[in-house]
């Protein structure tokens, strides 16, 4: 399918093949549940167009009863489950690290994130039906239908999570996003949704599940999406020594006004999002003077879902001149974000979570 078919008006497209795009931040902040047209797409290979009819999922490996089920078998056999959860790429806000020193990967602004209500069935229900040993230190590996070309290799996308997270009530095999069947670019007809974890652990176009005694050996799991200290680079870093990125750190961004905007002097509403895996956002500080002085924003969130983002908003008054607007959030553990991107720089550009800064000119 031509990638251009997935382009939507107003999107910032980082690449067509593979298709990678994020929304403008004012569009992202326009709805608590992100509309399909404004939901970022991160793909590593092609975007398969699979029909629900004919789709099958297999569950094999360290299970007592291997399964081979159609989509309607899955829906008939397991109780419906749903959750409102934020999906976020580990590379969200990478542009802020790239500005310091070049990093690899697409230079995502703060739009590689979206929030949705996901409906489907529980991954744990399926694994229990397959007779998995719930107390064992096992890993749940996923294989997908899309094919990736990377470093001269061609392989299907795969990743894994620990059995404990796979059995958690929040982890779903989703068929629907915001009440609509999954769109092709988001994993039609079935994807994994692992709330709170980096997007890479939520495989789209799921083909098979293997329960095994070690993490997936797919390059996505074994080599990519690992965090390294700042002195290492592509040639010196050993993937086996990197930290596997799973739970996402506390982060926040200013969505309005936009970077580089020219504004009229006087009242200005600042808006954005904050998120911290499964921890509540307790406070959002906003500065209009580069972090010298701070005020607290109003928060709004879905209290029923700890995995959903919090929206924040504050009325401020800006005088003529140049202003550096800054946001930092605080979570239920009393943690906040590092001030300086230098503190979190890594050559892959993951987990850019320092204070978000937006420069505006007021006339
Ligand atoms: N099969 C498959 N699943 C995948 C990917 C992929 O390329 N192929 N990308 C992952 C990454 S890195 C992210 S951030 C999320 C993005 O989900 P979205 O495109 O629905 O926003 O999907 C994840 N699941
Ligand atoms: Mo990602």
Residue 252's pLDDT is what? 99
DSSP state of 257: S
Tokens, residue 352: 């850019």
Residue 276's pLDDT is what? 98
The answer to whether the peptide bond before residue 273 is cis (omega within 30 degrees of 0) is: no
Q: Which residues of the chain, if any, have pLDDT below 70?
A: 1-4
Residue 303's pLDDT is what? 84
Q: Is the distance from CB of 251 to CB of 93 less than 8 angstroms? A: yes
Percent of the chain with pLDDT over 70: 99
Q: Is 202 helix (H, G, I), strand (E, B) or coil?
A: coil
Entry pTM: 0.97
Sequence-distant (≥ 6) Cβ neighbours of residue 54 within 8 angstroms: none
Report the alpha-carbon distance of residue 42 to residue 176 in Å, rounded: 18
Q: Which of 203, 225, 246 to mutate to test the pocket of ligand 1 (most atoms within 8 A of CB)?
A: 203
> Closest ligand 1 atom, CA of 186?
20
Percent of the chain with pLDDT over 90: 96
Distance of CA 25 from the midpoint of ligand 2 (Å): 18
pLDDT in tens, 296-317: 999 999 888 999 999 999 999 9
Q: Is the distance from CB of 183 to CB of 5 less than 8 angstroms? A: no
Residue 10's pLDDT is what? 86
Q: Whose CA is nearest to atom 19 of ligand 1?
A: 41
| CB-based pocket (< 6 A), ligand 1 | 39-44, 87, 89, 144, 146, 157, 186, 199-200, 202-205
Q: Whose CA is nearest to atom 23 of ligand 1?
A: 200
Per domain, the residue ranges of the chain are 3-244, 251-362
Mean pLDDT for the chain?
97
Tokens, residue 54: 């004919």
Is CATH 2.40.30.10 the right assignment for the domain spanning 251-362? no
Residue 5's pLDDT is what? 77
The distance in angstroms from the start CA to the end CA of the chain is 47
Q: Which of 202, 218, 309, 348 to mutate to test the pocket of ligand 1 (most atoms within 8 A of CB)?
A: 202
Distance of CA 89 from the midpoint of ligand 2 (Å): 4
Domain 3-244: CATH architecture, name and number where available: Alpha-Beta Complex (3.90)
């Amino acid at each position: 399918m031509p990638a251009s078919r997935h382009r939507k008006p107003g999107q910032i497209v980082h690449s067509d093949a593979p298709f990678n795009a994020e929304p403008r931040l004012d569009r992202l902040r326009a709805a608590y549940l992100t509309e399909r047209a404004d939901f970022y797409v991160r793909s590593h290979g092609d975007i398969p167009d699979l029909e629900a009819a004919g789709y099958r999922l297999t569950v094999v490996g360290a299970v007592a009863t291997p399964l081979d089920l159609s989509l309607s078998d899955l829906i008939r056999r397991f109780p419906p489950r749903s959750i409102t959860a934020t999906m976020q790429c580990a590379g969200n806000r990478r542009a802020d690290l790239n500005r310091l020193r070049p990093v690899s990967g697409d230079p995502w602004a703060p739009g590689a994130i979206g929030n949705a209500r996901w409906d489907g069935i529980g991954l744990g229900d399926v694994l229990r039906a397959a007779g998995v040993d719930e107390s064992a230190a096992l890993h749940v590996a996923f294989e997908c239908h899309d094919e990736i070309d990377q470093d001269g290799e061609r392989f299907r996308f795969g990743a894994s999570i620990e059995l404990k997270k796979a059995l958690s009530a929040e982890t779903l095999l989703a068929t629907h996003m915001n009440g609509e069947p999954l769109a092709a670019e988001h994993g039609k007809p079935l994807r994994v949704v692992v709330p709170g974890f980096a997007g890479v652990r939520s495989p789209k176009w799921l083909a098979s599940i293997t329960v095994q005694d070690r993490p997936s050996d797919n390059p996505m799991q074994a080599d990519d999406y690992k965090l390294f200290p700042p002195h290492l680079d592509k040639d010196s870093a050993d993937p086996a020594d990197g930290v596997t990125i799973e739970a996402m750190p506390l982060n926040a961004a200013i969505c309005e006004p936009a970077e580089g905007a020219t504004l009229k002097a006087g009242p200005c509403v600042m808006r954005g999002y904050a998120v911290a895996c499964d921890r509540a956002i307790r406070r959002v500080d906003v500065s209009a003077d580069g972090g010298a002085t701070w005020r607290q924003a109003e928060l709004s969130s879905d209290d029923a879902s700890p995995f959903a983002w919090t929206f924040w908003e504050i009325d401020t008054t800006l005088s003529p001149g140049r202003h550096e607007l800054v946001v930092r959030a605080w979570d239920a553990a009393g943690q906040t974000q590092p001030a300086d991107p230098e503190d979190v720089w890594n050559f892959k550009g993951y987990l850019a979570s320092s204070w978000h800064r937006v420069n505006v000119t007021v006339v």
